[in-house]
Structure 1
Amino acid sequence: MNSESRLPDQPLGDDAASAADGVGGEGRDVPSSRGFLGRFIDALTGADNEEEARAKSAEAAPGLLNLRRMRIDDVAVPKAEMIAAPVTMPLENLVGLFREHGFSRLPVYEDSLDGPLGMVHLKDLTLKHGFGGDGDGDFDLRSMLRPVLYVPPSMPIGVLLQQMQAKRTHMALVIDEYGGVDGLVTIEDLIEQVIGEIEDEHDEAEAAIVTTEKPGQWLVQARADLSVVEAVTGLRLLDRDVSDDVDTLGGLVFMLAGRIPPRGEIIADQQGVEYEVVSADSHRINSVRLRAPKPASNRGGVDQSKEVGEG
């Protein structure tokens, strides 16, 4: 889950240095490196051998070994699913982005996601341009940027957790071998690998991957694995000749359309299976309504096939 984290981080600038010297962004003392997270990680990484590490981790918390055996690319949000803002985004659009997705932090980039600049915190935005803040001032997103960490996908999540604690930042961007952005990870993502799912009052129950709406019709999340969709629906969706190129239902719809289709568009394959785009934006398909082929006696042509069942 990539919703808000709980500990404060510091904006770019001179204030960040004072935070490193011992004062937090909320006027609180910076936790000692031997605090909860420090002892938490030391219980794992300070052991002389695997058996001792397992013994200590058993006393600390379930899932503690994940700090060493899991890598960042095991938990990071893929680049294709990242929600980010260009540094030129107007205030109204940025507020809408925060409202739509419910995050408290968003990465900010220049030109493309491969040109990251930092992140913007919802708290900074509201204090400066919202309640009680300088709402009439000129909007300058660049001036509100906070730092993020840049890390390789192979880094153990325990190492990143220590870095986040030491540098008081809760977001990291995963950088590939060519210097491009490969994904995003938050401190909450890391902690969840140890203590389990964290939900707060702003979290909504995640929609099921495949939901049966009525016989022969399903609402499917675009990220659903095609093998799962085929197992639930009993449909054969993918020609095995191209199975190595497509893994998800969203990828299949993109391949059939040759582009990202807009919401409401219906695409039919050669078998008569219909894919109605229920939710999409300019970057990705989010959910699809899947309809089984109509019996041959009910299909008089392509146009009729697309009209039947839309209601």
Structure 2
Amino acid sequence: MSDPHSGHHGRHKGADRLPPRADKRNLFQRLVELMTPGPDSRDQLIESLADAENREVIAPESRMMLEGVIRMADMTAGDVMVAAPRMDLLDIDAPYDELLHLVIDTGHSRFPVYEGQRDNVIGILMAKDLLKLQRAPELNLRTLLRPAVFVPESKGLNELLRDFRSNRNHLAMVIDEFGNTAGLLTIEDVLEEIVGEIEDEFDDKDGESSIYTLADGSHRVAGDAGIRSVNESFAARLPADDFDTIGGLVAHELGRVPRRGESVALGGLQFSVMLTRGGAVRWFKVTRAPEAAAGDDGA
């Protein structure tokens, strides 16, 4: 069979002196060729990405995102969800002022709404829709609710991200094998597994304090906060000889990195995990442990 491009040989002779076409390959094409014939395991693939970064084939930010995509392939909704005890929910029968206070206090844009029991989620309320009640009190809160999406704990994050993108509903309720509410998950939680934590107005900036007082009197403490700083802030006596950060101490006491929603009592303080990222705790909610609070009242 004749070459369909044979009539253009003259025009293409000069093309031999042009930069190789490979120079115009995109990141994915270069990455695929780099790893041909290909690693035999996920760990080898991640090692190949690190090697590509060292040889300046890809930028550090690209490597981190690609690693996030690879790791996310094996993760499920249950791995990154906000556990049920830690969820901020709205009661359909609560007074408007109470609802508004909770919305302002937590700063979320979407809230599951329940009726009767917390496990009975009947819909999702957009925070901005709550303002409609202030301007038109005759409106019924139920009319403002959007349908809640329920997914099993075993649902893969890849599939869940596709669902979020297609249905434009960016919050899903996670249920366990018995149909009970296990937690919730947002599109931000999924994306942060790829790009790292998405900073917001509540996040630490430029090395400012890593210990914040919340409206309910509890505190939000960064996982990398120094143990000595925590001791000073809470008048506690947590051991500071073997570990520098509170996240390291809590993980050591538990024997593993705790998941969101889990709590650990140390030195009269209760550390509840608010957010984990990259195999470490990003934020704790810290309160006085029940026994410590009882002792203070008795004093």
Q: TM-score, normalising length from structure 1?
A: 0.53
Q: Which residue of 2 aligns with 1:72?
A: 77
What is the percentage of aligned positions where both structures have the same residue? 30
- How many pairs were matched up? 203
Residue number among 89, 92, 115 corresponding to 1:84 in the alignment = 89
Which segments of structure 1 move beyond 4 Å, counting only runs of 4 or more? 49-55, 57-60, 224-227, 276-279, 302-307
Give the drift of 1:214. Answer: 3.5
Matches within 5 A, 1:141-180: 141-180=141-180
User: Counterparts of 1:185 and 1:92 in 2: how far apart (Å)?
Assistant: 26
Matches within 5 A, 1:207-246: 207-209=221-223, 211-214=229-232, 217-218=235-236, 228-229=249-250
Give the drift of 1:89. Answer: 1.6
Question: For the pair shown, which has the larger CA radius of gyration, 1 or 2?
Answer: 2
User: Counterparts of 1:180 and 1:115 in 2: how far apart (Å)?
Assistant: 9
Q: Which residue of 1 aligns with 2:21?
A: none
- Note if contact 1:106-1:119 (Cα within 8 Å) is conserved in structure 2: yes
Q: Which residue of 1 aligns with 2:216?
A: none
- Note if contact 2:115-2:121 (Cα within 8 Å) is conserved in structure 1: yes
- Note if contact 2:133-2:141 (Cα within 8 Å) is conserved in structure 1: no
Give the drift of 1:225. Answer: 9.3
Change (3 A) 1:195 1:306: same
Mapped pair 1:249 → 2:270 = no
Q: What is the CA deviation profile of residues 232-252 of structure 1, one whole-angstrom value per residue up to 9, with x for unaligned ones?
A: xxxxx99xxxxxxxx7335x8
Q: Structure 1: which 5+ runs fail to align?
A: 1-39, 44-48, 232-236, 239-246, 253-272, 280-284, 294-301
- Note if contact 2:263-2:271 (Cα within 8 Å) is conserved in structure 1: no
Larger relative contact order, structure 1 or 2 (CA cutoff 8 Å, min sep 6) = 1
Q: Structure 2: which 5+ runs fail to align?
A: 1-27, 32-36, 50-57, 205-209, 211-220, 239-244, 255-261, 273-283
Give the drift of 1:137. Answer: 2.6
Q: Which residue of 2 aligns with 1:287?
A: 286
Change (3 A) 1:50 1:89: farther
Change (3 A) 1:278 1:249: closer
Give the drift of 1:303. Answer: 8.5
Mapped pair 1:122 → 2:143 = no
Change (3 A) 1:71 1:278: closer
Structure 2 letter corresponding to 1:137: P
Give the drift of 1:289. Answer: 4.9
Q: Which residue of 1 aligns with 2:108?
A: 103
Give the drift of 1:192. Answer: 0.3
Pick the structure with more helix per residue.
Answer: 2
Change (3 A) 1:84 1:192: same
Give the drift of 1:148. Answer: 2.6
Change (3 A) 1:53 1:191: farther
Change (3 A) 1:219 1:106: farther
- Note if contact 1:153-1:176 (Cα within 8 Å) is conserved in structure 2: yes
Change (3 A) 1:230 1:185: closer
Local SS of the residue matching 2:93? coil
Give the drift of 1:67. Answer: 3.1
Alignment root-mean-square deviation, CA = 4.6
